[in-house]
Amino acid sequence: MDTLIQRNNASVKSRTEERRTIEWWAKHFDADVHERCNFQSPVLDVGCGTGEKDVLFARAGLEVFGFDAGEFCIEIANRHREEESPEVKERLQFCLADAREKWPYLDGAFSTVFSSDVLEHLPAECNTHFFNEVNRVLKSGGMFLVILPEGTAFGDPTHLQRFSVESVQQIISNFANIQITVRDQRIHIWRQP
């Protein structure tokens, strides 16, 4: 396992006791996601972490696939999955995969691609690959939402990149019909059908 994944795993492990419960996420999850976005199944969560948000999406009736490079994260996500009703469990799948590599899904497999607080943990040379993979796995007319911290927001030592609206505009300059908004020190990059 490379040092980037080891460092992020160690960060998650050290914060496990502090991690929010699914009920906390239900009350505090970024309202902008629910207000603006009309997620459609199937949903891909890139860098799903410990899966709390995906449980909420599945509880809302969406079919959700999440992947993360952190083995510890996927273990916790699968524990969350096992605590759910059979109907919710059926709509949730998690797997171990690295966003820096080709994602383990077919072209056009998802109606929605979602990623929150992931790209800043990857080296800058992964930015184009990341958005190319979003486009590859997204169905024609599908929507995506990528959320990033703005600048040095949250002061996380595992962040390898800092983003501004200007830097995001440069990264996505080859992609059409994308909108960028900022809310509560978070940059939202999205495209609706």
Contact predicate 127/100, CB 8 Å: no
Residue 16, pLDDT score: 47
Output the average pLDDT for the chain. 84
* For residues 180-189, average pLDDT: 85
Residue 19, pLDDT score: 47
Q: How many residues are listed for the chain in this entry?
A: 193
* For residues 119-138, average pLDDT: 93
Q: Which residue has the higher pLDDT, 52 or 153?
A: 52
Answer whether residue 2 shows pLDDT above 90. Answer: no
Q: Which residues, in sequence order, are bridge partners of residue 148?
A: 187
* For residues 138-163, average pLDDT: 85
Answer whether residue 14 shows pLDDT above 50. Answer: no
Choose the weakest-confidence range: 7-16, 53-62, 143-152.
7-16
pLDDT band at 36; cut points 50, 70, 90: low
